Structure 1
Amino acid sequence: MTAVAARSRRRRGTAGRRLLGLAAVLVALVWVFPIYWMVSSAFLPTNRLRTPEPTFFPTDGTLANFRRVFADPTFFRSFQVSISVTLLTLAVAILFAFLAALAISRFRFRGRKPFIVTILVVQMIPAEGLFISQYQVLDTWHLVNAVAGLSVVYVAAILPFTVWMLRGFVTGVPLELEEAAMVDGLSRTAAFFRITFPLLAPGLVASGVYGFLQAWNEYTLALVVMTDPDQRTLPLWLQGLVEANRATDWGVVMAGATLISVPVIVFFLFVQRRMSAGLVAGAVKG
């Protein structure tokens, strides 16, 4: 009777796992469908997009929409602006967040707890509430319509959360590892870079992914700071396609949106393993 009950429990467990797997597949399909619809629409001519019957499989697709995007000189200029702002924001934010996370995790100094609380409070302030003051500061510094100006605003926006994220990773690495390396003859700096820093690499990657996505996809701050049409980021350029004509060419818009997504996909292909390890490590150690 015990063996029968055990087999019954195993069968119920197998059925439950299959149901959970099926539910996960359905959720994934719902999540992926808008992306698939965007990519498939990018290969359809305008007359097919305007028909009442949807086209789920573009068997007679065309590259004309992509050719029109590449023929637009403002696309490459916007791409240059976006990649410059993103890389500059990422480098500065990760550097300052890393140093701040080390300071509040490894050292005890006066004002440490208020500083941590300030990080959380700043993160709670809505970005829209800072638009006017940020614009006035950038205008005073002559950084409106400048890559450096938008990068400064982005760094200020993502730095609090990045510091808080990296703090969990730094705290999760025992200080005793550095002390043991120092006993073996390494200096404090050498012990940090040879022992601690490699263990923090997954956390840096996970924080970098967050910063990259925020800077690459951000729209509202760029709309306020980059008022010059020649200094638009890619999200602003894409919005310009919708507003350029009374009748929106959705094929070109979908092609542009697909091209904007390519750098994000490429970035994820390079960092996905370290990112997954970093997220799990932060959840366990932080």
Structure 2
Amino acid sequence: MPAPPPARSFATASATGAPRRRGRGRRRVGSILAGAAAIVVFAASVFPFYWMLNTSFQPNAQVRGSEVHFWPETFTLDNYTSVIFTSARAPFLPALGNSILVTLTTVVIALVFAFLAALAVTRFRFRSRAAFIIAILIIQMIPAEAMIISTFRLIDGWHLLNTVIGLSAVYIAVVLPFTIWTLRGFVNGVPAELEEAAMIDGLSRSQAFWRITFPLLAPGLVATGIFGFIQAWNEFVFALVLNPRPEAMTLPVWLRTFLDPNGGINWAELMAGSTLVAIPVVVFFLFVQSRMTSGLVAGAVKG
């Protein structure tokens, strides 16, 4: 029979257990510090939005007072009623409709063209391919505001000022370079061998693409769509120059109507309007977040 292993002494076990306890203690302290830092960052990020929402439910006299209120002591919805239904400034509902139309048009068309361009650049080899990629990078380095005069003259020459089509065309041109570059990275991350394996199993090239490759690219399309949505929804300069009429302005330009030339600003109504502008972005992100998460686990693995 083999000899039993020698028993470890109490001193040896204590010497071995002490470093383990110290290591666990350091990890616990590190976790606590990391959690505290995350809470601080979260609070600093959320507080401006909370303050905007808090201010929108207070009377303007209370907002302009010397006392700071961290919650609405006099809760009121008059600010939202005035913002939506007042006739003293540009109407809210037409501006909301213009923003929705321009943003959705920009996102859909930009994603379609960017997706096709990313596939062409990644999957095919053609002349001037490298020059096309470099041109995309160079275009992104040019500030869009530097082309505001030429853009205005171009849209004016097409008789598209104060129209959804004209503003959408400009937004598509602004969003498209970054969208192509981002989708190129997603398409490049999906191996072409997956399509080839599916074609060996009997699928056509189009069937292999839609059944195997496209589900893997869905997270990239959603992430890129979020970027295009936020950029088109919040853009101000082009909308101010190209669509200045009250019936054609978008929500960022509509918020500008709260500024009083005499210096008096109704901060409560302005915060209510800002909240209404921010809500669609939050709803859109919450709507697509689950689809982006589900797309991340979508695969093309055949059992």
* TMscore range, shorter length: over 0.9
Provide structure 2 residue ranges, at least 5 long, that are not aligned to the other structure: 1-14, 299-303
Secondary structure at the counterpart of residue 167 of structure 1: helix
Q: CA deviation at 1:247?
A: 1.6
Match of 1:22 in 2: 36
TM-score, normalization by structure 1: 0.94
Pick the aligned partner of 1:219 from 236, 245, 251.
236
Match of 2:191 in 1: 174
Query: 1:129 and 2:143 equivalent?
Result: no
Matched AA of 2:73: T
Matched AA of 1:144: L
Q: Flag the 1:279–1:72 CA change in 2: closer, same or farther, 3 A.
A: farther
Is the CA contact 1:101–1:164 (under 8 Å) kept in the aligned structure 2? yes
CA–CA distance in structure 1, aligned partners of residues 280 and 83 of structure 2: 16
Query: 1:78 and 2:95 equivalent?
Result: yes
Is the CA contact 2:58–2:73 (under 8 Å) kept in the aligned structure 1? no
Cα distance per residue 1:130-168 (max 9 Å; x no partner): 101111111111111111111111111111111111011
Matched AA of 1:33: F
Pick the aligned partner of 1:243 from 241, 247, 260.
260
CA–CA distance in structure 1, aligned partners of residues 211 and 175 of structure 2: 28
Provide structure 1 residue ranges, at least 5 long, that are not aligned to the other structure: 282-286
Q: CA deviation at 1:229?
A: 2.2
Pick the aligned partner of 1:66 from 74, 80, 86.
80
Q: CA deviation at 1:268?
A: 1.1
Bigger drift between 244-253 and 164-173 goes to 244-253
Pick the aligned partner of 2:52 from 19, 25, 38.
38
Match of 1:284 in 2: none
Is the CA contact 1:205–1:271 (under 8 Å) kept in the aligned structure 2? yes
CA–CA distance in structure 1, aligned partners of residues 261 and 292 of structure 2: 39
Is the CA contact 2:53–2:275 (under 8 Å) kept in the aligned structure 1? yes
Matched AA of 2:39: V
Match of 1:266 in 2: 283
Aligned length in residues: 281
Q: CA deviation at 1:22?
A: 0.2
Pick the aligned partner of 1:252 from 269, 272, 286.
269
Q: CA deviation at 1:276?
A: 5.5
Q: CA deviation at 1:274?
A: 3.9
CA–CA distance in structure 2, aligned partners of residues 84 and 276 of structure 1: 27
Pick the aligned partner of 1:51 from 65, 78, 89.
65
Match of 2:6 in 1: none
Q: CA deviation at 1:243?
A: 3.3
TM-score, normalization by structure 2: 0.89
Secondary structure at the counterpart of residue 230 of structure 1: coil
Matches within 5 A, 1:98-117: 98-117=115-134
Bigger drift between 265-274 and 205-214 goes to 265-274
CA–CA distance in structure 1, aligned partners of residues 86 and 165 of structure 2: 25
**Identical positions, percent:** 54
Is the CA contact 1:203–1:279 (under 8 Å) kept in the aligned structure 2? no
CA–CA distance in structure 2, aligned partners of residues 238 and 245 of structure 1: 17
Q: CA deviation at 1:278?
A: 7.2
Is the CA contact 1:85–1:215 (under 8 Å) kept in the aligned structure 2? yes
Secondary structure at the counterpart of residue 265 of structure 2: coil
Is the CA contact 1:101–1:163 (under 8 Å) kept in the aligned structure 2? yes
Is the CA contact 2:239–2:253 (under 8 Å) kept in the aligned structure 1? yes
CA–CA distance in structure 2, aligned partners of residues 54 and 34 of structure 1: 15
Matched AA of 2:285: F
Match of 1:97 in 2: 114
Decide which structure has greater helix share.
1
Q: Which has the larger radius of gyration?
A: 2
Is the CA contact 2:215–2:295 (under 8 Å) kept in the aligned structure 1? no
Q: CA deviation at 1:244?
A: 6.7
Match of 2:8 in 1: none
Cα distance per residue 1:197-247 (max 9 Å; x no partner): 111111000000000000001111111111222211001001111237642
Bigger drift between 240-249 and 96-105 goes to 240-249
